Amino acid sequence: MNFEPRTPAVVSRLPNVGTTIFTVMSALAQQHGAVNLGQGFPDFEGDPALVDAVTSAMKAGHNQYPPMTGVPALREVLSAKTLALHGHRYDPVTEITITAGATQALLTAILALVHPGDEVIVLEPCYDSYVPAIELAGARAVRVPLNGTTFRPDFDRVRAALSPRTRAMIINTPHNPTGTVWTAEERQMLADLLRPTDVLLISDEVYEHMVYDDRQHISASGHPELAARSVVVSSFGKTFHVTGWKVGQVMAPAALMTEFRKVHQFNVFTVNTPMQIGLASYLQQPEPYLNLPTFYQRKRDLFRAGLAGSRFELLPCEGTYFQCVSYDAISDMPDEAFCRWLTEHVGVAAIPMSAFQSTPAERATIRFCFAKQDATLQAALERLVKL
């Protein structure tokens, strides 16, 4: 007796999620030979000294499982770094964990600390993993728009969104996609707002070392009240131009980290050993991350200068390696359609702002990534200025 093979039907945990726009635009860029300023990764290599440090770790035999929480030497150097930069010491034994990138860290934090029926406030536009992670936890994302012209936090709207079900809030500074950087005054306003609540804070700080024009990164770690209720997430891949390594970090008070690690040990367990050993050695010298603002500000300025004479309107870029522009003077197409047209007919890939928010943007806006070689940026600019 013959039976036809049959795949049982499933009910999707994420019925509204498809392939991300980043994957779509990168594939479209490759198909059409376009300059890819869409997905946020460099097209240049990291420091050879870092690669050598990882290679040395491999050759020295550091190729088996590290501790679940991360290599002790790496956690210790991160503790010292955070104390030096933000004045707060995390215990490297109980309050720092190494993760398989920042996206895993964000998902793990949400799964560990957020329960079905809870609400989590997100500020839109926002990184596209936040809402799916909240939904996987069985919770509800409460979307609070940033100011539509400046993309700064609106604390009156945040206050109105707080409810007895609010379990957590996610913030991101420097901000992807808009490039805004929180001020010390805004951090204090958030602390004042959350003080009477039991709301946890998940602070996405992966672009912490990309701040421009003499601004300072304002970490949740640097405010005692916020540090006491925060899970702070960052990324070595972003900082050291090695996004494919997928190594991140989480810092949090011991009580929160205990819960984080319960989930971490079962969704990743641990992160590759030689890269942790190499990073621990490389971080002994702070110059690579302390010099990063100068490195990327030069690229930002090159890109902005190249677009200054075009019909694109440059929006402010205070941090990250993303530049947002309005294209109102060029087209009335919706942003995703415009990005597809730009890739197919102009030969430059970008990301539509609609990928980061649930409601239409006030202006027709797209995002370019300038973490590219100068030649790559110049090639893109030559095509963009013709519009």
- The secondary structure of 66-101, three-state, reads CCCCCCHHHHHHHHHHHHHHHCCCCCCCCCEEEECC
Task: Give the span between the Cα atoms of 220 and 281, in whole angstroms.
Answer: 26
Q: Evaluate whether 261 touches 97 at the Cβ level (below 8 Å).
A: yes
What would the mean pLDDT of 65-78 be, rounded to a whole number? 98
> What is the token pair recorded at 208?
């912490």
pLDDT at 2 over 90: no
Whether the pLDDT of residue 362 is over 80: the answer is no
Mean pLDDT of 146-153: 92
For CATH 3.40.640.10, list the domain ranges present in the chain: 48-286
Q: Supply the pLDDT for residue 19.
A: 80
For residue 360, is pLDDT > 90?
Answer: no
- Indicate if the alpha-carbon torsion angle 42, 285, 279, 103 is positive or negative: negative
Closest CA to 27 of 346, 383, 349, 379: 349
Structure tokens at 128: 């596209």
Q: Which CATH superfamily is domain 21-46+290-384 in?
A: Aspartate Aminotransferase, domain 1 (3.90.1150.10)
CATH of domain 48-286: 3.40.640.10
Q: Read off the pLDDT of residues 19-68 as tens digits, 9 standing for 90 and up.
A: 888 888 999 999 999 999 998 999 999 999 999 999 999 999 999 999 99
Question: 241's torsion region: left (phi>0), alpha (psi -120 to 50) or beta?
Answer: left
Q: Is the peptide bond between 174 and the residue preceding it cis, with omega within 30 degrees of 0?
A: yes
What are the structure tokens assigned to 273, written together?
A: 């050993």
**Secondary structure (3-state) at 143:** strand
What's the DSSP call for residue 48?
Answer: H
Q: Is the peptide bond before 352 cis (omega within 30 degrees of 0)?
A: no
Question: What is the predicted pLDDT for the residue at 359?
Answer: 84
pLDDT, position 211: 98
| pLDDT number for residue 119 | 98
Which pLDDT score is estimated for 21?
83
Residue 140: phi, psi to the nearest 5? -120, 130
pTM for the model stands at 0.96
| Residue 321 scores a pLDDT above 80 | yes
Q: Looking at residue 22, what is its pLDDT?
A: 86
Task: Give tens-digit pLDDT for 230-289.
Answer: 999 999 999 999 999 999 999 999 999 999 999 999 999 999 999 999 999 999 999 999
Which pair of tokens denotes residue 41?
């990764």
For range 200-205, the mean pLDDT = 98
Residue 322 clears pLDDT 80, i.e. is over it: yes
Average pLDDT, the chain: 96
**144 by DSSP, 3-state: which?**
strand
Dihedral sign, CA of 91, 97, 102, 105?
negative
pLDDT at 363 over 90: no
The reported pLDDT for the residue numbered 17 is 87
Residue whose C-alpha is closest to residue 230's, from 255, 210, 248, 193: 255
As annotated, the residues of the chain forming the CATH 3.90.1150.10 domain(s) are: 21-46+290-384
Q: Is 351 exposed, middle or buried (0-12, 13-18, 19+ CB in 10 A)?
A: buried
pLDDT recorded at residue 361: 77
Q: How far apart are CA 289 and CA 207, in angstroms?
A: 11
Q: Answer whether 150's CB lies under 8 Å from 128's CB.
A: no
